[in-house]
Amino acid sequence: MQRNKGQVTTLPYLAGQPEVVVPQVQSPIHLVLLGPPGVGKGTQAELLSRNLAARHLSTGDILRSARNLDPNERSPAISAALKYMQRGDLVPDSTILALVEEHLDYLSVEQSFLLDGFPRTVGQAWALDRMLERRDMKLDAVISYELPVDRIVQRLSGRRTCPACKSVFHISARPPRKRGVCDHCGSRLIQREDDRPVSIRVRLAAYEDNTAPLAELYARRGLLVRIPAEGSPEEVFGRSLEILQVA
Ligand code: AMP
């Protein structure tokens, strides 16, 4: 953590891009991860949270675990949310904020956290501001993982997810040791419903409309770090650590 807040830095893999203002990051680290579906954000969140001993709050994972509940145990808001999710649409802010409010213990000043998939709209970002202000906290950095659309589609069509421990694999880029079986817990891997082609297109459009403006918001605050998501998960992870200066 030797860089000073606001220092302008050019890293080799960012050559040709505008210079990045690297925010000062201290431990504990409080991060938001942005990136379109398929960019590998979930994998990076998994690697970062293990490496930084950060608590990992993923609104997508919370919604997916609600899907495993008996329909009678789901609140009407959750049942409605799952329908949005299945179509690839964003779930309404009010539902997402209610879910996050149930997990406010993640927003701890003493412990590192990583928000993955939240916020996803400007409205959610403002709501997060208020949650953090109430705790006298600020974000340290917002990482935006970026990749061309054709590469995203290629990645998503081969993605396989473990429904039990949430590990993410890819049939060619990150295959499990045994085909169709999770390396970590032995569960059968699945293709997420929203990773199917029709949902992928809706999700990419939803990202462009709602989430891309967030990058601008956080850029204006000097918090945004854009990281190219080309290459293996380990390469992208190395870039993330380098830019956060915690390697
Ligand atoms: P993810 O795993 O983050 O890609 O999320 C999967 C799906 O869950 C998204 O396509 C949305 O339908 C829904 N979702 C997750 N987080 C949010 C959020 N913060 N706001 C709205 N919808 C969300």
Q: Decide: 60 in ligand 1 pocket, CB within 6 A.
A: yes
Distance CA 198, CA 192 (A): 12
How many angstroms separate the first and last alpha carbons of the chain?
A: 9
Q: Decide: 96 in ligand 1 pocket, CB within 6 A.
A: yes
Please state the separation of Cα 209 from the chain's center in Å. Answer: 17
Report pLDDT for 92. 94
Spacing, Cα 243 to ligand 1 middle (Å): 26
Spacing, Cα 92 to ligand 1 middle (Å): 10
Q: What is the pLDDT of residues 119-158, one digit of tens each?
A: 999 999 999 999 999 999 999 999 999 998 888 888 888 8
Report pLDDT for 95. 92
Nearest to 241 by CA among 29, 60, 16: 29
Report pLDDT for 1. 35
Distance CA 243, CA 247 (A): 9
Other residues' Cβ atoms within 10 Å of the Cβ of residue 20 = 18
Neighbouring C-alpha atoms within 13 Å toward the C-beta of 55: 14
Q: Decide: 88 in ligand 1 pocket, CB within 6 A.
A: yes
Look at ligand 1, atom 6, and give the residue with the nearest C-alpha. Answer: 60
Long-range contacts (CB closer than 8 Å, 24 or more residues apart) made by 131-135:
131/100, 131/104, 131/107, 132/107, 135/107, 135/109
Report pLDDT for 153. 82
Report pLDDT for 24. 47
Report pLDDT for 187. 96
Q: Decide: 84 in ligand 1 pocket, CB within 6 A.
A: yes
Look at ligand 1, atom 12, and give the residue with the nearest C-alpha. Answer: 85
239 labelled catalytic:
no
Report pLDDT for 127. 97
In sequence order, what E strands does the chain have? Answer: 7-9, 20-22, 30-34, 55-58, 113-116, 141-146, 159-161, 168-170, 224-228
Spacing, Cα 197 to ligand 1 middle (Å): 16
Please state the length of the chain: 247
Q: What is the pLDDT of residues 55-84, one digit of tens each?
A: 999 999 889 888 888 888 888 888 888 999
pLDDT by 10s per residue, the chain, length 247: 333 344 434 344 444 444 444 444 567 899 999 999 888 898 899 999 988 889 999 999 889 888 888 888 888 888 888 999 888 788 999 999 999 998 999 998 899 999 999 999 999 999 999 999 999 999 999 999 999 888 888 888 888 999 998 888 989 888 999 999 999 999 999 998 878 877 888 888 888 888 889 999 999 999 999 999 998 888 999 999 888 875 4
203 labelled catalytic:
yes
Spacing, Cα 195 to ligand 1 middle (Å): 12
Q: What pTM was estimated for this model as a whole?
A: 0.79
Report pLDDT for 23. 44
